[in-house]
Amino acid sequence: PRSRGLGDVYKRQVQLVVHVAANSSYPCGYEVREVVEVRVQDDLQTKMSVGQPVSVALDAFPGVKFDGSISAIPRTIVSQTGQTVRIPDATIDVDFDRDGVVMGMLARVNITLQVKDDVMKVPLSALKDLNERTFVETVVNEQRRSLPVVTGIRSDSEVEILSGLEEGQMIFTAP
């Protein structure tokens, strides 16, 4: 599935670490990094890792994708006093190689968490949930029937069917 999130573009200062020769002056400066902070649903956070590539789109630049990578994942920190602090956002470092990117722009982030080839999939709108079971509606012996299915990974619009349907079987979807 893809994790899609909305975030905002931020610029933050990070101290540079520079190695210098013993007899030269110590250069100290700051680098401004462009980052996107994005909230990711809890059940997908365990599939994320630092360094994982992401794709970022800004509404102000239709059709343009910017490359980035995860620099921090959502985490829980316990302070020295024992207080638990939850940091719910992932931080994405992005190379915005275009003029006009400013703080506060809406960013759409795509993080590919898992990829499977050659799977049976149906539109998400075809699924019906009832009593913790998942069904699709189909035609069996010329009658509309609900068939239980086992689902796998899902995207924003489709879901993998692991069992319960056969390839080519007609299903009904919600409008």
For the segment 67-116, what is each residue's pLDDT rounded down to a tens digit? 888 888 888 888 889 899 888 888 888 888 778 887 778 888 888 777 77
Tell me the longest C-alpha to C-alpha distance in the chain.
88
In this prediction the pTM is: 0.54
Ranges of the chain whose pLDDT falls below 50: 1-31
Residue 153 neighbours by CB under 8 Å, 6+ apart: 1, 114, 116, 159, 160
Kindly give the pairing relationship between strand 30-39 and strand 89-94.
Answer: antiparallel
